[in-house]
């Protein structure tokens, strides 16, 4: 079985904000696009246009309906799932060939496809379901933290992040060194009380999740009074503009004339 390297000072990983994730799947599709031509290439698909498609996805997003305590109305929480790059990963120690390994320099967990025999022991050992078996190639694949991207000196510094982080439209995904307590990601976890996934398992995942905030709506927020005019020139100007625009909107809504077939080229 494969042994683990000594704990590394540098621990690269992701921080995922469950409050701002909208489940748009941009992280999953960008991950697929980048990795199907990178370190894990190719990420095969089977029957992609049939009724029952399947394939290798290194990042998946699940949606769960949950209820907040004291509220009748439920909400949807979107939960992205990928490899957590654990400090003590069972997927590595169970591997009989050393194909699954943890890098000593930055803590990233990878799979060497040249030595993987597809025995699936790592997928059985991983409690997070982060391993994906590629039927077409007979090997196991997983999130690489875009290791071929984050160290690529041909990229601008702001682009040296995993593809999923770069693609997220709401800023729900953050990347950095969680081994440095002063790093932005570590401070974010501390400020938002980030948590480990299944800490009772003892695998010490590096990736962290930020919990959803309490719902903010008319039931929980106090009404805000609009500022009153002070009679200044700017105030009178805006009041006049509001009246003019309001009249135009009313006139537009009241115009029911049918102009179909009367457009001139």
* CA trace torsion 129, 84, 163, 40 (10° rounding): -60
Residue 191, pLDDT score:
97
Phi then psi for residue 134, to 5 deg, are -95, 105
Residue 250, pLDDT score:
61
Q: Under CATH, what is the fold of the domain 12-210?
A: Alpha-Beta Plaits (3.30.70)
Residue 47 CB coordination number (10 Å): 10
Farthest CA pair distance, the chain? 79
Residue 42, pLDDT score:
80
Residue 126, pLDDT score:
96
Domain ranges of the chain: 12-210
pLDDT by residue for the chain (265 residues), tens only, comes to 678 998 889 999 999 999 999 999 999 999 999 998 877 778 888 887 888 888 899 999 999 999 877 777 888 999 999 999 999 999 999 999 999 999 999 999 999 999 999 999 999 999 999 999 998 889 999 999 999 999 999 999 999 999 999 999 999 999 999 999 999 999 999 999 999 999 999 999 999 999 998 877 666 667 777 777 788 888 888 888 888 888 766 655 555 555 445 545 4
Could you give the CA distance from residue 83 to residue 60 in angstroms, rounded to a whole number? 10
Name residue, tokens 């941009």.
26
Residue 76 CB coordination number (10 Å): 11
Residue 139, pLDDT score:
94
Residue 256, pLDDT score:
55
Residue 219, pLDDT score:
64
Instruction: Single out the residue of 17, 9, 5 nearest to residue 208, CA to CA.
Output: 17
Residue 265, pLDDT score:
45
User: Is the full-model pTM beyond 0.75?
Assistant: yes
């Amino acid at each position: 079985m494969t042994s683990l390297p000594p704990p590394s000072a540098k621990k690269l990983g992701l921080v995922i904000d469950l409050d701002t994730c909208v489940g748009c799947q941009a992280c999953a599709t960008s991950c697929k696009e980048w990795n199907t031509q990178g370190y894990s290439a190719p990420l095969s698909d089977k029957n992609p246009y049939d009724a029952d498609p399947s394939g290798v996805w290194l990042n998946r997003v699940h949606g769960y309906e949950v209820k907040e305590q004291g509220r009748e109305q439920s909400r949807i929480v979107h939960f992205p799932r990928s490899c957590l790059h654990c400090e003590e990963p069972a997927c590595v120690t169970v591997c009989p060939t050393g194909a699954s390994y943890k890098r000593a320099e930055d803590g990233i967990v990878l799979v060497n496809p040249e030595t993987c025999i597809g025995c699936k022991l790592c997928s059985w050992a991983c409690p997070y379901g982060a391993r994906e078996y590629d039927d077409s190639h007979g090997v196991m694949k997983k999130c690489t933290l875009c290791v071929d991207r984050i160290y690529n000196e041909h990229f601008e510094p702001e682009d040296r992040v995993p593809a999923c982080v770069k693609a997220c439209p709401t800023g729900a995904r953050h990347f950095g060194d969680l081994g440095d307590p002063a790093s932005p990601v570590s401070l974010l976890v501390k400020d938002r009380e980030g948590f480990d996934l299944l800490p009772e398992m003892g695998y010490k995942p590096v990736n962290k999740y930020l919990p959803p905030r309490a719902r903010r709506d008319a039931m929980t927020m106090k009404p805000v009074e609009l500022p009153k005019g002070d009679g200044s020139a700017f105030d009178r100007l805006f009041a006049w503009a509001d009246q003019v625009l309001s009249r135009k909107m009313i006139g537009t809504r009241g115009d029911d004339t049918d102009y179909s077939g009367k457009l001139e080229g």
